[in-house]
Amino acid sequence: MIATHPAPRPAQAAQNALRAADRPAHPNTRPAPRSLNCSAVSSFCTGVLEWAFLFCASRRPLAFILANEATPSAPRYDFPLADLANAFSLTPGEWIEIPYGDVPHEYRGQPIIQRLNIQAANRLVDVFHSLRGQLARRFGGLPVYKGHPDDPSFAERDQDQAAYGWIHDLDARPNSLALRIEWTPAGAELVSNKHFKYFSPRWGLKKVGTENGSILTEPVWLLSCGLTNRPRWPVLPLSNEEATTTNKEDPAMIEWLRKLFSLANDASEEDIQKTVRQAHDLAEAKAQVDTELANEKTARRQSDGQVASLAGEKTALETTLANEQTAHNELKAAFAAERKARIDLLVANAISEGRITLADKDAWLNDLAADFPAKSIALANAKPIIKTGSKTDGLGGRQSQTFERRNQILTLVNEKQKAAGVDYDTAWRMVKKEKPALFQEEPKEE
């Protein structure tokens, strides 16, 4: 028989797949010829693909295929983590999330731990988009059932093999593995009418170690999901409205909350809600304080950096100022030395020229040091008060001038003698007559 939406069958053995052929058909199915059991063949092939992949992915001969739905003998570990505003809308491409964490399970009586983290989620996404992943699901989506008809543990109870939604994409998010589901009309009706509140992933696991006496596993291949009211994995409710009424409908949840917040066994639902709200408010206040503290630490680090930078700049400026002060002092000292040397020279010249006496030297030195511009002008304009020149001053100059005049007269006489063709005495008289100034004597100094 061929179901409306055939799905992968578990690969426990070919016998399980063949036995499914004798189950009653879903009302929406049509019979296939008895000579060719398509469902059995499809289930067998898909099961082989599942186990072949799990063997390769885990590189171990042992792998687990588990459905995360609680049974009457197995405890529930689910609880609504938070209200999900507009969490469920009946539109194509709806995303639901499986939060990361560790969830216990059992396999053939052996306790195991399923660990889903972002690394495992990334591997699930890679396998989903890989060629072998697409081949295993025939290039379609992964089915969403009512329950887990594809798992041997629930096969007798869940015989409806119709898919009520199809998983068309996976996304490894920071805190959860997200599944994009396109619901069928029947699936949309089931969820909108609140027949089912949760979903349960079924996947293949590989052993990665042991922890506290349990086998530690990680999912390596998502096979399907099932709509359920008893999920083993702590997923969010599909409907936001259900998240607000879960405590009223679920006594186990109320008891769990009493233990979680250390409340009395007879604590009312109102007391629990009040405690939860207080815890939520405290958590928000703590988060705000943590954020403010982190901001203050960041601002302080920035301020410390600015202070250090300003301290460095201050040190550099102080060094520059000290260097400039040293240079200024050196220039000042050089200027003072030059000014003193100049004052000494001016006073010495004034004494040698008779404008001041030696007795006035110290007074002029002090006056020039106190007011150099004015006093230097006054000293330059001072008249000689004593005669300091020698009587023979200029004697050498006069002798030189007489010698030059005589040479000039002799040259003129010789030229005149040649020009006029006269004797020396006649030429002398002619030159003296023409240039009498050359023959005048300078007066003698007394």
- pLDDT above 60 for 49: no
Of 17-21, 337-341, 371-375, which gets the smallest average pLDDT? 17-21
User: Above 60 in pLDDT, residue 326?
Assistant: yes
Q: What is the mean pLDDT of residues 95-103?
A: 89
Tell me which of 233, 249, 265 is where a domain ends: 249
Are 163 and 145 within 8 A, CB to CB? Answer: yes
Task: Give domain status of residue 101, yes or no.
Answer: yes
Asked if the model's pLDDT at residue 253 lies above 90, the reply is no
Predicted local confidence at residue 52, as pLDDT = 45
Global pTM reads 0.40
Q: What is the pLDDT of residues 364-382, one digit of tens each?
A: 999 999 998 998 898 888 8
Q: What is the pLDDT of residue 196?
A: 85
Asked whether residue 166 is assigned to any structural domain, the reply reads yes
Domain total in the chain: 2
Q: How confident is the model at residue 278 (pLDDT cuts 50, 70, 90)?
A: confident
Q: Above 70 in pLDDT, residue 390?
A: no
Final residue of a domain: which of 249, 284, 311? 249
Instruction: Tell me if 334 is assigned to some domain.
Output: no
pLDDT for res 152: 85
Examine the pLDDT at 387 and tell me if it is beyond 80.
no
The answer to whether residue 220 sits within a structural domain is yes
Domain boundary among 229, 249, 269: 249
Q: Does some domain include residue 237?
A: yes
Residue 167 lies inside a defined structural domain of this protein: yes
Mean pLDDT of the 114-143 span: 90
In this prediction, residue 232 has a pLDDT band, given cuts at 50, 70 and 90, of: confident
Q: Which two tokens stand for residue 427?
A: 């030429």
pLDDT in the model for residue 249: 46
Q: How confident is the model at residue 256 (pLDDT cuts 50, 70, 90)?
A: confident
Separation in Å, CA 440 to CA 15, 40, 406, 436: 162, 160, 11, 7
Residue 239 placed within a domain: yes
What pLDDT does residue 64 have? 59
Which pLDDT score is estimated for 379? Answer: 87
Judge contact between 200 and 145, C-beta under 8 A. Answer: no
Select from 207, 205, 211 the least CA-distant residue to 50.
205
Per-residue pLDDT at 44 exceeds 80: no
pLDDT of 2 over the 80 cut: no
> pLDDT at residue 181 above 70?
yes
> How far apart are alpha carbons 14 and 40 in whole angstroms?
8
Tell me which residue of 119, 112, 98, 109 sits closest to 220, measured CA to CA: 119
Q: What is the pLDDT of residue 418?
A: 87
405 is in which domain, residue-wise? 397-439
Q: Does 11 fall in a domain?
A: no
Can you give the pLDDT at residue 118? 95
pLDDT computed for residue 432 by the predictor? 85
Q: pLDDT per residue over 147-173, tens digit each?
A: 899 888 888 888 899 999 999 999 999
* Region of poorest pLDDT, from 37-46, 125-134, 182-191: 37-46
